[in-house]
Structure 1
Amino acid sequence: MTGRDALRAAVGAGVAALERELTALSHRLHASPETAWEEEKAARWTASLLDDLGYAVTPGVCELPTAFAATVGSGPLHVALCAEYDALPGLGHACGHNIIAASAVGAAAGLAKVADDLGLTVTVLGTPAEEGGGGKILMLERGAFEGVDVAMMVHPGPVDVAEAEPFAVAHLNVRYTGRAAHAAAYPEQGRNAADAFTVAQVGIGLLRQQLPQTTRVHGLVTRGGEAPNAIPERTEGRWYVRAGSLEELEKVQGRVEACFRAGALASGCALEIEPESPPYSEFRNDAELAALYRRNAESLGRRFAAPGDPAARMNRASTDMGNVSRVVRALHPYIGIDSLPAVNHQREFAAACATPAADAALLVGAQALALTAADLAVGNLAAANAAGDATARDTP
């Protein structure tokens, strides 16, 4: 057995040894979904398993109660594994973050005993609030990724895709304030905050024809009024604006916000627009990481979707991992869980995230991530040794 074969065997054995615990964690998270910033049990359960693996766990990092950092090894190449675990409001784990968290722990298990031999420092970051809250952006701003060379994670989807191509996105809270009045007796005394949204949505609908094809605008009214016989005094909504890049997003967002201002002007209502989080960036793929991951995943029996496959479009979904990719080398592939025709953000997909196919995918995803980190470390060591030999030869 070659050195590389022995290494792959050790990594695989590390993941396999924790198979029961990893699937149990995934199912436990799936059965107890917690939404953005509320992932108290998820963070605790995930960190506890890492503690059992010998990782040094620090809870509540970056002044975020449901974030954590867990580290093992002291090598010069620092790899961060990102564990997402927030669920969707009303839909539970319909984006499979239970699988993401379990895969990150599995990759950590594969690397735990070989990290120092490979010259690795491995940190698992518990990253809350990916679904609109921008947890990774706050952690990035507060130093969680400082000193990290590579950040990686694997995301479930209908099929396997090696590279992420997400939209940049702005998450907006929109509020109109008008004046209540009896809708039959004194309608002229009211200022209809529901009408303001109607005007804004008509404007956005008409605007779509003039927007670039790389944009998306969508949202919903979360509060539409209190009673049918009262002019709505206050309405609220959540809206997302997506574009191919942060630069394009800034231009499109300005035009969308003009539609909301038109609603305020037409109805005589006051308007407030507040961001839910900083904008999410497009993702900058690292070609070497993507190629290493694909090679490792294929060696484990995975097959990647053909270019243009409609089922592969989950890789366009926005993620705060995009902001991380602007600062460090990053990897964000997708692993299929045999869910079709169900796709992400559907109740049927949530059900598919706790099946034998999903369990198998999380184990393969964990192993592929760990092997990718190991391959990168081996290449790093080889380059360092070659540089040392060259220096020795050049020294008189």
Structure 2
Amino acid sequence: MSIRKLNDGRFFADISIGIDPLTSKRRRKRKIFKNKKDAEEWISKTKQLYKSQQFISDRHLDFSTVKDFYLEESKLHHKPNYYKIQEYTINKHIIPTFKNSIIKKVTPTDIRQYQSKLIDDGLSYKSINNIMIILKKIFDKAIDEQVISTNPCKSVKNLSLDNKQMKFWTPEQFKLFIQLINKDEYMFKVFYTFAYFTGMRCGEILALTWNDIDEFRKEINVYKSLTYINREIIITKPKTKNSIRRISINSKLIELLHDWKQEQQDLFSKYRMKHSNDIHIFQYKDQAPTKDIFSRKIRTICERDDKIEAIRLHDFRHSHVALLIHQREDYTTIKERLGHASIKTTIDVYGHLFPNKQRETADRLDDLF
């Protein structure tokens, strides 16, 4: 450490801050001040920052390098589908804007402008918020690597989401929908009936094989989920630990599955494909179908009769809950079938569908008069 007075009367401060672990070279900080007191204060603060590990290194890592560090960590600590989704989102939405950025100079204003660009691109607010979460994590990684001291994403707020009203079909509406399915679309009839009477998530349904059906106990063993990323099938554990469960199913649904299995075997034989209990239950080609196939088909079927309004594929899960509530099932039973972590989750999501208990309580107070 040294302070040297220059010929023009200013003071030159020079401080050593240790060895760079990547280059094995000594790292130094140098700065010129108008007076000696300012130079001494700067040296003192710089040493304190370094000792408290808040010091920002001289390594000029570019955005792509920090992004690679982040993805490596994601691959190491998360499920394959999580990593794949992170990689896909970064390459599609983030890299085109930030690949040439100087990471130390990115400001909150730059992040807000990027957020506005995503809005102009027509992405949904939910998708934009998810992209911004990933971007923030990348800048957090830059902080971990001591490239920057603050995250420019931190002061940029998420976009407000409009809470869409939950849609579901009553048993009568579901029966009308099923009647609109043609005979040559039998697989779709079985799929939608299965979804309506089990409340399983789409990825959980698509991952099922015939081995996962316990006909003796009339149960479904749910322990995996299927998704497609870049046209590649990814099989993982379900959404949460509590999503691993067994779901009881009714006899008529078992019979429906039996009929579809026979039709599936005939279909495989026609295409000279081997059939076994390891085949995905709703597979009708050389690999499992995608979620989009069943999502689009709902709209196609509903267009055949204007009496039925199309719902999303995930709304079949909501419809199952509404059905259970209609049958006066309790929160605990619904929680177990859905694979929620706690009853609180079930109540938070579906509590508004239950009968108004306050009205019943108020009515009982009449007995006290």
TM-score w.r.t. length of structure 2: 0.22
Relative to its length, the structure with more helix (as a share) is 2
TM-score w.r.t. length of structure 1: 0.21
Relative to its length, the structure with more strand (as a share) is 1
Choose 1 or 2 for highest CA Rg.
Answer: 2
Q: Specify which structure has the bigger relative contact order, considering alpha-carbon pairs within 8 angstroms and separated by 6 or more residues.
A: 1
